[in-house]
Amino acid sequence: MFKKTKSTVATNEEVISLILAAKDDPEFKSKLLNLLRVPEIERKHNIRQWIAESQERGAPAEFLAALALLHDDTVARKVIDILS
> Contact, 12 vs 68, CB < 8 A?
no
At residue 2, does pLDDT exceed 70? Answer: no
> Contact, 39 vs 46, CB < 8 A?
no
Instruction: Give 32-58 pLDDT, tens digit per residue.
Output: 999 999 999 999 999 999 999 999 999
> Contact, 15 vs 7, CB < 8 A?
yes
The pTM score is: 0.80
Give CA 56 to chain center in angstroms.
18
Helices 40-56 and 61-69: crossing angle in degrees, nearest 10, is 170
At residue 3, does pLDDT exceed 60? Answer: no
| Residue 27 pLDDT | 97
